[in-house]
Structure 1
Amino acid sequence: MSPSTIGSQTLDLHQAIAIGNPKAIDLWLDVVDDPRLRSDQLTDLTPAEVVRLGELMPVAVAADVMDTLDLHVVVDALRVIPTPRAAAVLDALESDRAAEILRELTPAEREPLVAAIPAEHAAVLRGLLTWPDESAAAHMVPEVLTVGGTVTAAEAIRQVREHSAKMRQDAHIGAYVFSVDDERRLHGVVSFRELVLADADTPVAHLVESDVITVGPLTDQEEAARVVVAHRLLAIPVVDDDGRLLGVLTSDDANDIAQEEATEDAELQGGSQPLEIPYLRASPFLLWRKRIIWLLVLFVAAAYTGTVMQAFEDELEAVVVLAFFIPLLIGTGGNTGTQITTTLIRAMSTDNVRLRDVGRVLRKEMATGALVAAAMAAAGLLRAWTLGVGGPVMVTVSVALVAIVLWSSLIASVIPLLLKKLRVDPAVVSGPMISTIVDGTGLIIYFTTAKLLLPELAGL
């Protein structure tokens, strides 16, 4: 662990805890202001040191620190800190962050903590924890600025002042004031700035925008995050089927969700299950467990490539030179498919492509595939010529390349969209999976083309 330096003195977290003075902890916080470095140093602490650190930090300071640290570091710390102290820190955190932390604990670990939190806040947290993990409501902030629909601007400002002391201090929450009725049904939204600048006797009903963009509580978190980003909102209201305001999803939370989903998609496209924890905290066993399933699936899927080779054994024995081009052909097909799926999955994640666009996608990718196929056929022809394999084999390689590229373009354009329709994450159509599919089918195309074009294979 690298120590932090002030002038000629050095101080790391172990030393600050050993000193046993809150001022030493304050000094460490001043020096180590990078959340990643703080997380790394906290990870190195023994359970006893974590407990002592919790005693030395005021609750408000501990909450501020935990709000910025890696989620799994915070969870590990709360597991060893005495329940009363841990509950006090959770109570000081914003509700969505506290719920995010509690969601990582087992029910047996979670319940004592929630029970030790004041009843009003505990009820809010229990409500958040009832929503599915991947839903918008699971990540929303229940505390929002609301005013009655029949009040004036002056009365609305007074209501906001009364309620703001009980709410978290977040600019993204304070940016909007929502007009609701007695049953919290949402009628409109007005910016806090516009409300303050309005004439005191102006009815709020004349200020609010009634055409409000909203999401439902069960809306997938990724979809909700896309809406926030697409409309450049600071927060989006979450409303139930009856139009009642449940909370808001902030742009900060939306950005976190988008980053998390992008990481998950990248891991899936690489042929691995998502780690769900930072890479450096993953043990070799966890990495093995996340990767081995996909590798075994790909192994089984790739087994049919050997079956295809065995089926065309006679053709290979008759024209041995055909084997020279197998890596080139199947590699080209796999690379073509991977390029398309990567582009399509990204377009689908940003909601630019849907199943109804399959016709346009096919036309675009098949046209592109034709251009790619022509270029690759020319390259294949040149390569075959340099090997001196003769005209018939040169033509066979070129024709097979065209067919394989077009076939790869077809399946790579359709499969992600079909999986999305079937509610399967299209990111599972990873580069390795597309390559595996194209390997076997590409060999069939290659040998079938050879049988049609090479006289030596006639009758086989």
Structure 2
Amino acid sequence: MKHHEPVAGHLVAAVLRARADETALAVLARLRAEKPVSVELVLVEGEGGLLEGAVPIARLIAAGDAPLAELVQRDFPRVTPDIDQEHAASLALHHAVDALPVVDKDGRALGVMPSQALMQVLRREHVEDLHVLAGIHREESQARHAIQDPPMRRVRHRLPWLLAGLGGAALATVAMAGFESTLSAHIAVAFFVPGIVYLADAIGTQSEAVAVRGLSLTRTGIRHLLAGELRTGMAIGATLGLIAFLPIWVAFGQVRLAAAVAIAIFAAGAMAAALGLLLPWLLARLGGDPAMGSGPLATVIQDILSLLVYLGVVRAVGL
């Protein structure tokens, strides 16, 4: 699990502060004289140092002699020092801003989280997420050096998730053994197991990749998100199933086999898309990192479920 670090560690207090009645030219003159550490934003303060809004430096430069009251963005996103740094970076991305004002619990301006800090956070978090997606569970400070580690240390960090995969493979074997009579009577049924499992994994991986980062950027309810992802998975599954139906029928001369494969692809696609969203969401709700729901863990579950769906459909159509 990640160590969540607060914004306070990236706070820059040496920023340009101004009043709403000052002009852009006057503020630019002070900027040249004061030489603050961070210049991305001008913090517009009211009585008692309360933050009224912010003016991006590019807007200030282009404003001529206009008063800041006409330039200030009063709804500019802001954070408190105790907010997690990844949430702050996601907020900046969501609002397409280069820096974030930092305020105390009463709304008084403390400084900014500058663009350099936001970029560092995003890079660190994405390196960590890539390792988790690959099933490499390790501390963020070490993750960037993973490729340089001795082989046995790499094994120690990668093996736990793959052991879960081995357990999933055993369960899949047990599931297939339960359909031994069907597989013995219709050997062609087994030909399509790898393809259906692969397609379910691929659809699920797409959903996971979207969910891992998207869940931190949206405030949309999970029901709406799940409904949309389920419709997407169904549409993809239906398209792939229809494409596969005719060639299988022509090649094997068995309409029921072709129908079973098409239905299984449709069902597995919908299921994998939903699971790819639900697993990261559930982990986020439990206080974990959504990225932990991706990679080997989700693959194991998708493989078993897609296999059960396919073999269940095969039996249902009378093969």
TM-score (norm 2): 0.78
Alignment counterpart, residue 239 of structure 2, candidates 342, 361, 375: 375
- 1:239–1:385 Cα change, 3 Å: same
Shift in alpha-carbon separation, 1:215–1:394, aligned structure 2, 3 A: same
State yes or no: 1:384 paired with 2:248: yes
By how many angstroms is 1:383 displaced? 4.8
CA contact 1:334–1:436 (8 Å) conserved in 2: no
Residue 215 of structure 1 deviates from its aligned partner by 0.5
Match of 2:221 among 356, 380, 395: 356
Matched, 1:434 2:298: yes
Supply the distance in 2 between the matched residues of 1:421 and 1:316 (Cα, whole angstroms): 41
Per-residue deviation at 1:284? Answer: 3.0
Unpaired runs of at least 5, structure 2 = none
**Displacement, 1:357?**
4.9
Match of 1:339 in 2: 206
Deviation, 1:180, is 6.4
Query: C-alpha distance in 1, partners of 2:52/2:235?
Result: 54
* Whole-angstrom CA distance in 1 between matches of 2:311 and 2:196: 11
Aligned to 1:265: 129
Distance (whole Å) between structure 2 residues aligned to residue 179 and residue 443 of structure 1: 61
What's 2:106 paired with?
Answer: 242
Aligned 8 A contact 1:215 1:238 in 2: yes
- Alpha-carbon shift at residue 356 of structure 1 (Å): 0.6
Task: Identify the residue that residue 42 of structure 2 maps to in structure 1.
Answer: 176
Number of aligned residue pairs: give it: 310
Residues in 2 aligned to 1:276 and 1:255: alpha-carbon distance in whole angstroms: 17
Instruction: Please name the residue that 1:144 is paired with.
Output: 15
> Which residue of the partner structure matches residue 301 of structure 1?
168
Q: Identity rate of aligned residues, in percent?
A: 27
8 Å Cα contact 2:244-2:262 kept in structure 1: yes
What amino acid is the match of 1:384?
Answer: I
The CA distance in 1 between the partners of 2:90 and 2:307, in whole Å, is 41
Structure 1 398/259 Cα, relative in aligned 2: closer, same or farther at 3 Å? same
Structure 1 Cα separation of the partners of residues 318 and 70 of structure 2:
81
- Correspondence for 1:417: 281
Instruction: Work out which structure has the larger RCO, using CA pairs closer than 8 Å and 6 or more positions apart in sequence.
Output: 2
Q: Which amino acid aligns with 1:144?
A: V
Q: CA RMSD in A?
A: 3.7
- Any conservation in 2 of the 1:393–1:454 contact (CA below 8 Å)? no
Q: Is the 8 A contact 2:20 2:46 kept in 1?
A: no
Residues 180 and 188, structure 1, Cα contact 8 Å, conserved in 2:
no
> Which residue does the alignment assign to 2:189?
322
* Pair 1:135 & 2:6 matched: yes
Q: Which has the larger radius of gyration?
A: 1
- C-alpha distance in structure 2 between counterparts of 1:414 and 1:449, whole Å: 24
Paired residue for 2:260, among 396, 399, 404? Answer: 396
Where in structure 1 are there 5+ consecutive unaligned residues? 1-131, 456-460
Separation (CA, whole Å) in 2 of partners of 1:219 and 1:239: 11
Q: 2:44, 2:237 → 1: CA distance?
A: 56
Which whole-Å CA distance do the structure 2 matches of 1:276 and 1:179 have between them? 41
8 Å Cα contact 1:354-1:417 kept in structure 2: no
Name the CA distance, whole Å, in 2 between partners of 1:330 and 1:155: 65
Distance 1:369 1:142, change over 3 A: same
Distance 2:220 2:21 in 1: 46
- C-alpha displacement at 1:291, in angstroms? 1.5
Aligned residue for 1:247, secondary structure, equals: strand
Task: Give the CA deviation at 1:249.
Answer: 0.2
| Kept in 2: contact 1:139–1:249 (CA 8 A) | yes
What pairs up with 1:54-133 in 2 under 5 angstroms?
none
